[in-house]
Every structure is written in structure tokens, then in C-alpha cells.
Amino acid sequence: MHLLTQTFLLAQVTPDDPIARELARLQHNYEFLSYGLTAAWIIIVLYVLMMVARERKLKQEVARLRVMLEEKPKR
């Protein structure tokens, strides 16, 4: 039983492969690079979308006030 446990433990140990380690590091780096760039552009795009929404609201408000001012003297 003891021998069997030791065999299982040895089977789980991975050899210290520098190429595999470097590939994993590179993969990790690229993953975080993509997170960084995505996050940065999401912030800028969100700001642009906020501006588009504000533009629409301002145009509606200007139109509403103009209609209100045109209608007022008629009363």
C-alpha cells in the first residue's frame, strides 16, 4: 500500500522542463497583455458611448424647448 502511494506521488511530479515553463510564462504574459489592451479600449469606447447618449439627450432637449417656445406665443 505504501509503495503504491509513493508510485502515485512520483507520477504526479512533472520534470522541471525550462521550455515548458517559458512557454507557460509567455502564454501568461500574452493573456495579461490582451486583458490590459482590452480594458484600456473598453474604457475609451464606454466614454464614446456615453458621449453619444449625451448628444442624443441634448438634441432631444433642444428640440423640446424650441417646440415649447414656438407654441407659447400662440396661446
* Site of interaction with another protein (CB under 8 A): 25-26, 28-30, 32-33, 35-37, 39-41, 43-44, 47-48, 51, 54-55, 58-59, 61-62, 65-66, 68-69, 72-73
Listed residue (15, 38, 34) closest to 26, CA to CA: 34
**CB 38 to another protein: min, Å:** 10
**CB 58 to another protein: min, Å:** 4
Smaller CB distance to another protein: residue 6 or 59? Answer: 59
DSSP string across the chain: -HHHHHHHHHHHPPP--HHHHHHHHHHHHHHHHHHHHHHHHHHHHHHHHHHHHHHHHHHHHHHHHHHHHHHGGG-
Smaller CB distance to another protein: residue 4 or 44? Answer: 44
